[in-house]
Amino acid sequence: MAIAKKVNDYMTKASWIRKMFEEGIRLKQEVGADKVFDFSLGNPILEPPEAFLTVLKKMINDPPAGVHRYMGNAGHVWVREKVAAYLQADTGAALEADDIIMTCGAGGAMNVALKALLDPGDEVVAVAPFFPEYRFYADNHGGVLKVAESAEDFSLDLAELDKTIGPRTKVLILNSPNNPTGRMYSAESLQATGELLLKKSTEAGHPITVICDDPYRKIVFDGAKVPSPFAAYPHTILLTSHSKDLGLAGERIGYAAIGPKHEDRVALRAAMTFANRTLGFVNAPALFQQAVAEVQQASVPIEAYQDLRDLFCAGLDDAGIEYLRPQGAFYLFPKSPVADDLEFVQVLKERYILAVPGSGFGRKGYIRLSFCVTRQEIEASLPGFKAAAAQLR
Ligand SMILES: Cc1ncc(COP(=O)(O)O)c(C=O)c1O
């Protein structure tokens, strides 16, 4: 067979999210779309805000000269200036345009950062449960993923981090608000992690970089605000995208911001720009860079996701299913009524409810439900949750 053994192996083990999504398509064909409740995929349902569409229309109707051409591989300078100014006001960090690399989403940004940072065999630590693509992204660049468990309430567990971070650790990935748990890390826990990492960096003889993979940083509930990723630790890179906050997941636009206090700030600017080019992205999509630059403050209406969270939580309460109330993002990570999360997923599927097993995120005994769906879908699915939980109890 022509396919690499490793890729073949990864494809068979990988992506419960995709498996469930495909199962959803099959079930919809079999029993009708209105009878299937698909909570498997985090595909934003809210349309991009009017402010964004206005800028985009103007660019299409009255295009600036050369709008579709190549530019420097990090992106347009004026775009990066606007992003740096926005982020500086938002986080308090003294970012410059040169610290910003425009990328093909947060996924593109993660690959760019890891390519710039990893030598073969270097370790990347992720906190479980975690976005499953991290394992493949680390492997793309010769890295090895190591897993630190989070605490029972999904907050950072310092003892676990202490145990898992070693001399070969180059990167710690933090994702807050978190996919799949909706947990947001507190400023205090980030501070304590930062202190641990300073000690670990000295022991390792190189700075360990924290990559904050935060595409949900604007999607936070109950008036909360995500703490600045740069405040707690100097060697930090922030990744984000407009997939979720502007509803542009298909357009592949985001950016990386190198913390101004990173020991290798200047070298990282060059290395990540090089990686953006040589990974074949070349540069982030030109039109969308320019359109998002004008609307850095904007987002889809977050209250709409908060309402969906509240509706779903009330339904799970009624079904007697335990969960921790998400502080942000658009996922719930409830506890399975039985130890085997695959069994819970199967029983839900018999009621045409599609969920992703927690095992796919490195935490057995839980399931992930994405609530970027309509109110009607949540409402109509709730009797199924109640019956499934009662059956298993
Ligand atoms: C934690 C996390 N990181 C990265 C991504 C990738 O986002 P993007 O579409 O910006 O590449 C996702 C998408 O679901 C995610 O949940």
What does the pLDDT look like over 87-144, one tens digit per residue?
A: 999 999 999 999 999 999 999 999 999 999 999 999 999 999 999 999 999 999 999 9
Q: Which two three-digit tokens encode residue 72?
A: 């420097």
Structure tokens given for 267: 């070298």
Residue 14 has pLDDT above 70, yes or no: no
**Which of 213, 242, 253, 361 is the best mutation target for the ligand 1 pocket, counting ligand atoms within 8 Å of the beta carbon and taking the most?**
213
Nearest to 31 by CA among 346, 344, 350, 343: 350
Fold of the domain built from segment(s) 50-293: Aspartate Aminotransferase; domain 2 (3.40.640)
Extents of the domains making up the chain: 5-48+300-392, 50-293
| 5-48+300-392 carries CATH number 3.90.650.10 | no
List pocket residues of ligand 1, CB cut-off 6 Å: 42, 105-107, 131, 175, 179, 213, 215, 241, 243, 249, 254
Most ligand 1 atoms within 8 A of CB, residue of 101, 216, 241, 242 to mutate = 241
Atom of ligand 1 nearest to the CA of 178: 1
Class of residue 335 by CB neighbours under 10 A (exposed 0-12, middle 13-18, buried 19+): middle
Q: What is the pLDDT of residue 17?
A: 72
Mean pLDDT across the chain: 96
Q: How far is the CA of 107 from the centre of ligand 1 (A)?
A: 6
Q: Within a 13 Å sphere around the CA of 99, how many CA atoms are in the beta-carbon half?
A: 26
* Atom from ligand 1 closest to the CA of residue 213: 3
pLDDT in tens, 316-335: 999 999 999 999 999 999 99
Q: What distance, in Å, lies between the first and last C-alpha atoms of the chain?
A: 46
Sign, Cα dihedral of 33, 342, 346, 304: negative
State the distance from the centre of ligand 1 to the C-alpha of 295, rounded, in angstroms. Answer: 20
Task: Kindly report which listed range (3-12, 76-85, 237-246) carries the lowest average pLDDT score.
Answer: 3-12
Ligand 1 centroid distance, CA of 154 (Å)? 19
If you measure from the C-alpha of residue 209 to the centroid of ligand 1, how many angstroms do you get, rounded to a whole number? Answer: 19
Which atom of ligand 1 is least distant from the CA of 105? 10
Measure 215 CA to ligand 1 centroid, in angstroms.
Answer: 6
How far, in Å, from the CA of 106 to the mean position of ligand 1? 6
Percent above pLDDT 90 for the chain: 90
Mean pLDDT, range 366-392, rounded to an integer: 96
Q: What's the pLDDT band for 43 if we cut at 50, 70, 90? A: confident
